Chains A and B, each alone.
Chain A
């Protein structure tokens, strides 16, 4: 099983600042990686797949990068609606796995 490790667990950021979230895979997942955003009481929402392709409706301030084992989600200028938990997810091989999540909170 591929283990996905996200860091940091919690990220405190002021509105308008840049946020950088990291995700590491225990073995290569190529570019078969997605990022999801989840707000309290809601289902996750796809932001990025293919490591760097924004999903329909994802604002341009969200960008993904990386391949192999190291990935990054960057939010260029945090808006109030961006405070949430973010999960990375590998779909390169079964079983599919998620990272433990990064909570982005207001500083």
Chain B
């Protein structure tokens, strides 16, 4: 099956710094990728839809200036958490699917801890 990777798998940063998380589709091209956030013992909440070559579409309540998304190529989307604060600590997961295929493949997730 299709493979999606994320880097880094874990990151610890100080409050006020910015953190970039990469999501890559390794064996297929993805015009659309999705970013989710998961708090401990909770479900995945969709944050935004990342579109190659255009602006991301954010879900209601998600600050687009805080969570910058760039979809630079058909195999790479990045999520940058700007001026991170402890409340941004979470598990961030991306997903991607080959064009016209309904199944999304999920990355292994990135654990962010902001001190």
A binds B: no
**Chain A contact residues, CB within 8 Å of chain B:** none
**Chain B contact residues, CB within 8 Å of chain A:** none
